[in-house]
Amino acid sequence: MRGADTFTESLFSMRKLDDFVPKSHPLRSIRVMANEALVKMDRLFAGMYEADIKGGRPSIAPEKLLRAMLIQVLYSIRSERQLMEQVQYNLLFRWFIGLAMDDEVWVPTVFTKNRERLIEHDAVIEFFNGVVAIAEKKCLLSGEHFSVDGTLIQAWAGHKNGDDQDNDGGGAGDFKGEKRSNETHQSRTDPDAQLYRKGKTTSELRYMGHTLTDNRHGLVVNARVTHADGHAERETAKIMIHDARQAAEDLDAVITLGADKGYDAQEFIEACQRMNVTPHVAQNTSGRRSAVPDTIASSVGYAISQQKRKLIEQGFGWAKTVGRMRQVMVRGLKKVGQMFVLNMAAYLTRHGVPHTPDELPSHRLIARRFLGGQVAPWNFKAKDGSITTLGPANRAMLMLSAPESLAQAACDNVGIAQVGVHLAWDHLLSGALKLVLHRSHLPGAYEMVMQYPHRALMAPRVQVTVKHLLDAFAADKKLHVPLNALDAYAA
């Protein structure tokens, strides 16, 4: 029987906004973390506004304002006007921000004006610090091993809006064949932006963003924006690693800093050593002598740092593709810096370590596809004995057949994979891999079967082969790792 194409609305609805949001939606865990950080900012928010006793019209609640800014970053919404439009009809956005179904959405210009107040009082930086503190509380940070890098951010300005500093008002329009530099020209729309090129790229008006990440999970612990020049990366790295050195609980703890070849300069290596920081900087030996001592470059920790420092690129890539940092839509060094920090805070809330199987869909997963086309399921056992099965086929960002490739992809920070302990053991010992959900995970039973004709006597060569395999399996310690030994390698 064909259904009728009718639309009937109920006069009353007895459902809450929370009922429309799936229990496993990744925004649930993000909202919990964001609210935990916002609670600690109450004193800052109180100082931003006049006391209630003085009267006046209430502003947008700063907590709702920050949650709306997070939504804008997480869902790649290009403007405040489009954000307000989507909040009008998107129940998920209303639930995350804290607006009821019948609450009016703010006017875009009012939202922008209130956002300027948050930037003026460095509320975004305080929020980022609160999220980092939560990650530290959950033991997601090592506090001793870091990586640093920088990235270029295209400014919201163009060459045609540049003025000749020696000739006020000149330089606009056609500048073909005219030589321009930061010493002679300055942008009228964004005076803080500077002409800069890196590698084979063209010279454009840009800023430079810098992050310091913790090597345990690649989480950002410090983020800054500076003018774009050839010394900004190393100078900002000194400031950020100095802050990390001061924040260490044990001032005598060994702190390492991984970086690429651009940081291989004598003055930077000496500055790190003066701060009691071991520079795990990639050696630059292209026609020159590296400033990194060979004793450091030949250590095991140096090799691990060089592998882990690649995690920092994931934050930059996320901020420029999902976030709004490829080309910022604000002007001025402080505003660009606040937007960069907000993007890093959103990246922090979006990434981390899953603590329940329900949180796995919000992470990058690597699945194993057998040659027959079937995808290996992930099983988990709850405290009440119930079994939960996760089918990663529709959620995995990468599918591989060889188990060794799964382990290597996890080592390369592609995502979370399900592999045997014997394949992951060496990587666990080296620190390249960490275990997640190992107490609730059910790996399943894997059997090895050897077939031979049952009516015939076992040939001597078969007996020798079986005995050799049994002896090899018994001697391989990776096949006999007790489960309680895995606790030391949990994330």
Residue 460's domain comprises: 357-489
Asked if residue 177 is part of any domain, the answer here is: no
pLDDT band for position 16 (50/70/90)?
A: confident
Mean pLDDT of 138-143: 82
Q: Which residues of 319-332 are buried (b: 16+ CB within 10 A; e: fewer)?
A: bbebbbbeebebbb
| Higher-scoring residue by pLDDT: 287, 413 | 287
pLDDT of 161 higher than 70: no
Query: Is 223 in the same domain as 286?
Result: yes
Q: Is the pLDDT of residue 325 over 80?
A: yes
386 and 430 in a single domain? The answer is yes
- How many residues does this entry show for the chain? 491
- Split into its structural domains, the chain has a count of 3
**Distance (Å, rounded) from C-alpha 402 to C-alpha 10?**
54
Rounded to whole angstroms, how far apart are CA atoms 102 and 33? 26
Please check whether residue 380 is in contact with residue 388, taking contact to mean a CB–CB distance below 8 angstroms.
yes
Cα separation, 375 vs 381, whole angstroms: 20
pLDDT digits (tens, 9 = 90+) for 348-388: 887 766 777 877 776 778 888 888 888 888 888 887 878 88
161 within domain boundaries: no
User: Percent of the chain having pLDDT more than 90?
Assistant: 34
Residue 204, strand partner residues:
196
Q: How many Å from the N-terminal Cα to the C-terminal Cα in the chain?
A: 55
Helices in 351-453 by DSSP H: which ranges? 403-411, 421-430
Q: What angle do CA 305, 311, 314 make, to 5 degrees?
A: 165
Which of the residue ranges 51-55, 80-84, 137-141 has the most confident prediction, judged by mean pLDDT?
80-84
Tell me if 256 sits within 8 A of 144, measured CB to CB: yes
Tokens of 176: 């073909």
Q: What is the residue whose two structure tokens read 């603590």?
A: 355
pLDDT of 183 strictly over 80 = no
Are both 147 and 291 inside the same structural domain?
Answer: yes
Structure tokens given for 180: 């321009």
- Mean pLDDT of the 102-113 span: 91
In the predicted structure, residue 196 carries a pLDDT above the cut 70: yes
Note the pLDDT of residue 455. 58
Does the pLDDT at position 221 exceed 80? Answer: yes
Task: Let me know whether 45 and 84 are in one domain.
Answer: yes
Q: Are residues 317 and 226 in the same domain?
A: yes
Lowest pLDDT segment from 76-90, 115-129, 359-373: 359-373
In a domain, 12, yes or no: no
- Higher pLDDT pick, 172 / 153: 153
Residue 71 lies in a domain: yes
Cβ contact 228:152 at 8 Å: yes
| Whether residues 117 and 244 fall in one domain | no
pTM to 2 decimal places:
0.75
Residue 51 resides in a domain: yes
Residue 51 confidence (pLDDT) above 90? no
Q: Assign 3-class secondary structure to 38-105.
A: HHCCHHHHHHHCCCHHHCCCCCCCHHHHHHHHHHHHHCCCCCHHHHHHHHHHCHHHHHHHCCCCCCCC
Same domain, 341 and 211: yes
Q: Is residue 172 predicted with pLDDT exceeding 70?
A: no
Asked whether residue 33 carries a pLDDT value surpassing 70, the answer given is yes
* pLDDT above 60: residue 170: no
pLDDT one-digit tens code per residue, 243-261: 998 888 777 788 999 999 9
**pLDDT for res 293:** 92
255 Cβ contact partners less than 8 Å away, ≥ 6 residues apart: 144, 145, 146, 241, 244, 245, 248, 276, 277, 278
* 337 and 220, same domain (yes or no): yes
Q: Any idea which of 16-20, 86-90, 177-181, 455-459 has the lowest mean pLDDT?
A: 455-459
pLDDT band at 93 (very low <50, low <70, confident <90, very high): very high
Helix (H, G, I), strand (E, B) or coil at 450: coil
Asked if residue 229 and residue 375 are part of one domain, the reply reads no
Residues 235, 300: one domain?
yes
Q: Which of 350, 366, 391 is the last residue of a domain?
A: 350
The span from the CA of 281 to the CA of 269, in Å, is 8
Confidence of residue 55 (pLDDT cuts 50, 70, 90): low
Say which amino acid occupies 121.
H
Residue 227 lies in a domain: yes
Residue 279 has pLDDT above 70, yes or no: yes
| 80-94, 205-219, 356-370: least confidently modelled range | 356-370
- Which of the given ranges, 5-14, 282-291, 425-434, has the highest pLDDT on average? 282-291
Residue 252 belongs to a domain with what CATH number?
3.30.420.10
Let me know if residue 109 belongs to a domain.
Answer: yes
> Exposure of 225 by Cβ count < 10 A (0-12 exposed, 13-18 middle, 19+ buried)?
buried
Does 369 lie in the same domain as 346? Answer: no
> How high does pLDDT run on average in the chain?
85
The pLDDT tens digits for 409-425 are: 888 767 888 888 888 88
Same-domain status, 380 and 435: yes
Distance separating alpha carbons of residues 278 and 293, to the nearest angstrom: 10
Last residue of a domain, one of 78, 96, 121: 121
> Residue 4 falls within a domain, yes or no?
no
Q: Of 350, 379, 399, which residue is a domain's last? A: 350
